[in-house]
Amino acid sequence: MTIQILGTGCPKCKKLEENARTAINDLKLDCTIEKITDMNEILEYGIMMTPGLAFDKKVRSTGEVLTPDQIKVLINGEGV
């Protein structure tokens, strides 16, 4: 799985990335994390608020910093 962090590098975006890394480490998953910082590319995902979180280019969250536990739930396919 590839996880995309969508944002310009603000503190909230950095915290979301940190939380995503914690979640995948806790779950012992082999995932790649991509940081998408270009606004044109972020807009291609159809989001209007950052930070955004996507799994394999499918947007799962926008405009909020999810906790590691919330991210784990999304990874496991249970929704937030």
β partners of residue 55: 3, 58
Check if the beta carbon of residue 70 is closer than 8 Å to that of residue 40.
Answer: no
Give the active site residue among 1, 9, 10, 33.
Answer: 10
Give the active site residue among 3, 5, 6, 13.
Answer: 13
**10 noted as active-site residue:** yes
In this prediction the pTM is 0.92
Please write the tens of the pLDDT for every residue from 40-75. Answer: 999 999 999 999 999 999 999 999 999 999 999 999
Please write the tens of the pLDDT for every residue from 15-33. Answer: 999 999 999 999 999 999 9
Structural domains present in the chain: 2-75 (3.40.30.10)
CA distance 40 to 44: 6
pLDDT of residue 79: 59
The pLDDT of residue 38 is above 70: yes
**31 noted as active-site residue:** no
pLDDT of residue 80: 52
First vs last Cα of the chain: how many Å apart?
A: 19
